[in-house]
Structure 1
Amino acid sequence: SGGKAEKKKWSKGKVQDKLNNLVLFDKATYDNSVKKFPMLKIRGSLARAALQELLSKGLIKLASKHRAQVVYTRNTKGGDTPTSGEDA
């Protein structure tokens, strides 16, 4: 058998988004969070604070709350009255 064959080319994998390790929002990140919240890469504590802010503005509403598990949904009708949390 002959010489060494060309090395097999494996995929490089997906490129991961860089995590933003902020503890408090700066102006640019805050403005960005209101526009495209699901795509942000931020810490959990900052995300919880942002969710409370969006809830107070009426952009999202509480769907369910059970201990540490909190589920929000989009506020499509514009009503800002949050629904009561379900204990299941």
Structure 2
Amino acid sequence: KWSKGKVRDKLNNLVLFDKATYDKLCKEVPNYKLITPAVVSERLKIRGSLARAALQELLSKGLIKLVSKHRAQVIYTRNTKGGDA
């Protein structure tokens, strides 16, 4: 007898930002210790592609800094108060 496989809830993530989510992104995400598209997507309930684009924007504004970029996996962290180090 074949098992039916695992039943997963359908993710209903936002494709575009609404005002509230965008404000939350700008306020909260720069305070996370570990920032990846997956983490942002999970916490803010947004699509991965939207999370990637949002993180690029935060980086260009200088709110977060890049730790490692390896093919698909991009890791950012918050800016430390003591300058760039």
TM range (shorter): 0.5 to 0.7
Moved over 3 A (4+): none
AA aligned to 2:13 is N
Which structure shows the bigger proportion of residues in helix conformation?
2
Q: Which has the higher contact order (CA 8 A, sep 6+)?
A: 2
- Taking structure 2 as the reference length, the TM-score comes to 0.60
Specify every segment of 5 or more residues in structure 1 that has no aligned partner in the other structure, as ranges: 1-18, 82-88
AA aligned to 1:68 is A
Q: What is the Cα-based RMSD across aligned positions, in Å?
A: 2.5
Specify every segment of 5 or more residues in structure 2 that has no aligned partner in the other structure, as ranges: 1-10, 30-39
Compare CA radii of gyration and give the structure with the larger one: 1
Pair 1:34-2:26 in alignment: yes
- Taking structure 1 as the reference length, the TM-score comes to 0.58
